[in-house]
């Protein structure tokens, strides 16, 4: 017991000595760890920054490694990207980065957020500048980075734009941003605009754009995949070496095809397309679909391109002998152009709903989730609804065997 107490005392004494010497590094509580010594020239400005000289865990580790490995005096830099919302709110800047294109309202904060045709990422790059081997912080800059990709451009051309906006800067005078862009895989780089631009003081901006063109040939029915990317780094002649590590912004694969139509169209294929049915446009069409889905028929369907099978689906659900009131036609759900259609799904029976003017099949009851559904709706609505579905297949580039979701608004 005495040896245990003695050992515990020596352990606490060593910890206290390390703490007084500044050698005891606290573990990160969440996303960041305690700050390093700060150069007097920037201390006052850093006191105005939310978080002060607090380091991210990544940059705290790189600082420790550089201090222990430095062969001669100089500087090192570290860049780490973080979500943008907290940083922008804390800095209360006069205005942040904004792309010239139509940026989705759901731009991802620290991650890529996708629609079928767009991708958007918002974040903040924090650049730290340290002396080595001392590890003193002599410069810090927070740069908001927003990048947006739009694939809904005619002719298989798609673009990625990035905007850079300085939220906070101290000790970084003379800093520039430099970069390049490309499109790889199934596309070729059409154009790049990423000149060296000063990016060193608060509210300063820089921008970049890369445009890619799909290698798919119009009218030949092929498809390809190829992402755009923007790669960049921060540079300053006072740093040794005079640049940071490079960073890349890329949304991942973009699929282009000339299968859905003879013209090329491009989408983010990992995003399930959504077929929106609007009740103000086709109220009877929308009501039938809403009832069918509400009673448990699938809302996720799979496109079927075979003309023969589509015809069989239609005849199975809406045979010619079925009575059609004047001005009405038979509407079926799931759609004949999907593998969930009446024939291709092997549906055991059909059902209808009150008000559908059909007596040949029973009215669907609660708990009955099987089979298909039919309803007589105005011919104009049936034609318009079918047309809107065809337009959806075309604009969202829904290929044979690809799933999509039906949503009634």
State which residues of the chain have pLDDT below 70: 1-34, 86-105
Cα 175 from Cα 26, distance rounded (Å): 31
Q: Which residue has the tokens 């006069």?
A: 94
The counts of H helices and E strands in the chain are 7, 21
Coil vs helix vs strand at 145: strand
Distant-in-sequence, close-in-space partners of 144: CB < 8 Å, separation ≥ 6: 84, 87, 88, 93, 96, 97, 122, 123, 124, 164, 165, 166, 167
Q: Which residue has the tokens 């705290």?
A: 60
**What was the pLDDT predicted at 7?**
39
Sheet holding 265-267, edge to edge: 223-225, 255-257, 265-267
Q: Which pTM value belongs to this model?
A: 0.83
- Would you say 332 and 342 are in contact if contact means Cβ atoms under 8 Å apart? yes
**What was the pLDDT predicted at 71?**
85
pLDDT single digits (tens) 184-195: 999 999 999 999
**What was the pLDDT predicted at 104?**
58
pLDDT single digits (tens) 243-263: 999 999 999 999 999 999 999
Coil vs helix vs strand at 67: helix
Closest to 80 (Cα-Cα) out of 47, 21, 33: 33
Coil vs helix vs strand at 286: helix
State the angle between helix axes of 379-395 and 283-294 in degrees (0 to 180), rounded to the nearest 10: 70
**What was the pLDDT predicted at 28?**
37
3-class secondary structure for 366-391?
Answer: CCCCCCEEEEEEEHHHHHHHHHHHHH
- Dihedral angle sign, alpha carbons of residues 163, 178, 246, 230: positive
**What was the pLDDT predicted at 84?**
80
């Amino acid at each position: 017991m005495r040896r245990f107490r003695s050992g515990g005392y020596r352990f606490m004494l060593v910890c206290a000595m390390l703490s007084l010497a500044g050698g005891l590094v606290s573990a990160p509580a969440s996303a960041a760890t305690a700050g390093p010594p700060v150069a007097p020239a920037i201390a006052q400005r850093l006191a105005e920054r939310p978080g002060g000289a607090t380091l991210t865990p990544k940059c705290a580790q790189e600082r420790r490694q550089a201090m222990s490995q430095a062969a001669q005096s100089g500087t090192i830099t570290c860049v780490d990207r973080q979500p943008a919302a907290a940083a922008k709110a804390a800095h209360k800047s006069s205005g942040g980065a904004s792309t010239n294109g139509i940026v989705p309202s759901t731009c991802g904060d620290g991650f890529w957020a996708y629609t079928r045709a767009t991708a958007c990422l918002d974040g903040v790059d924090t650049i730290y500048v340290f002396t080595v081997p001392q590890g003193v912080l002599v410069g810090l800059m927070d740069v908001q980075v927003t990048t947006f990709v739009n694939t809904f451009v005619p002719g298989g051309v798609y673009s990625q734009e990035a905007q850079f906006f300085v939220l906070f800067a101290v000790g970084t005078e003379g800093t520039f941003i430099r970069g390049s862009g490309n499109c790889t895989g199934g596309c070729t780089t059409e154009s790049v605009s990423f000149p060296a631009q000063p990016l060193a003081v608060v509210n300063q901006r820089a921008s970049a754009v890369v445009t890619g063109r799909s290698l798919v040939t119009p009218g030949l029915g092929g498809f390809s995949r190829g992402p755009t990317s923007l790669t960049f780094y921060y540079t300053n002649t006072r740093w040794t070496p005079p640049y940071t590590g490079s960073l890349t912004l890329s949304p991942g694969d973009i699929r282009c095809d000339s299968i859905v139509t003879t013209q090329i169209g491009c989408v983010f294929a990992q995003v399930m397309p959504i077929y929106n049915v609007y009740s103000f446009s086709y109220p009877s069409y929308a009501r039938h679909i809403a009832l069918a889905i509400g009673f448990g028929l699938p809302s996720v369907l799979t496109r079927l391109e075979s003309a023969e099978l589509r015809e069989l689906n239609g005849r199975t659900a809406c045979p010619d002998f079925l009575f059609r009131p004047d001005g009405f036609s038979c509407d079926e759900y799931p759609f004949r152009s999907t593998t969930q259609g009446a024939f291709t799904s092997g549906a055991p029976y059909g059902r209808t709903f009150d008000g559908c003017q059909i007596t040949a099949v029973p009215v669907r009851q609660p708990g009955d989730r099987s089979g298909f559904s039919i309803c007589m709706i105005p011919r104009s609505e049936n034609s318009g609804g079918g047309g809107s579905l065809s337009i959806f297949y075309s604009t969202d580039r829904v290929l044979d065997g690809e799933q999509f979701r039906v949503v009634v608004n």
